[in-house]
Amino acid sequence: GRAAALRARMEERLLAARFRYINQQLYTSSSREAAQLFRDDPEAFQIYHRGFTQQVGRWPENPVQRIARALQRRPSSLVVADFGCGDCKLARSLKNKVHSFDLVPLSPQVTVCDMAKVPLADESVDVAVFCLALMGTNLQEILEEANRVLKLGGTLMVAEVASRFEDMRAFMSAMAQLGFKSVSK
């Protein structure tokens, strides 16, 4: 009994460490390398998602719920693109048409693709969402892709861990250069 419990605890810690390692890889490599990572090692994605769910579960609030609530107050006719959708919590919380993109299909609703290149026409969505998914060193390319698919006057919503920003002001001014006007922070 005790040996089994210890073993289970140790396995849990190894999985948590692997999650942190993969998470760090996702934030420090390009989106193409991230796609390659999950292609080469499908188990990595399972471990990543398990760790992600556990981590967010410990937070006082899951940002995806906050984004869902904000969108529920707006017309359900708005078309949404969820970049890095994970298990499609957003699509499941909204009546809206939601395009859900991820590298790996955790649910049948997911369109598998690299978020730097999504299969949507120019100016085809009202809202683009990056909820804990603004990963990849080719961030500019990814945000330009969101800009491309957004209608003029559309909304970009980003939820990210504060410590991920080296320089928030530089980020905000880069966003302005990409054509995004800050509405609320």
- State the residues that interact with ligand SAH by CB under 6 A: 26, 31, 34-35, 52, 64, 84-86, 89, 101-104, 114-115, 131-133, 135-136
- Name which of 86 and 154 has its Cβ closer to ligand SAH: 86
Q: Which helix (H) or strand (E) holds 177?
A: helix 168-177
- Name which of 140 and 173 has its Cβ closer to ligand SAH: 140
Measured between alpha carbons, how far is 165 from 183 in angstroms, rounded to an integer? 19
DSSP 8-class letter at 164: G
- Name which of 81 and 131 has its Cβ closer to ligand SAH: 131
Q: To 10 degrees, what angle do helices 31-40 and 2-28 make?
A: 150
Instruction: Output the smallest distance, CB 3 to ligand SAH, in A.
Output: 34
Instruction: Output the smallest distance, CB 133 to ligand SAH, in A.
Output: 4
Instruction: Output the smallest distance, CB 88 to ligand SAH, in A.
Output: 8
Interior/surface letters 112-127, b for 16+ CB within 10 angstroms, e for the rest: ebbbbebebeeeebbb
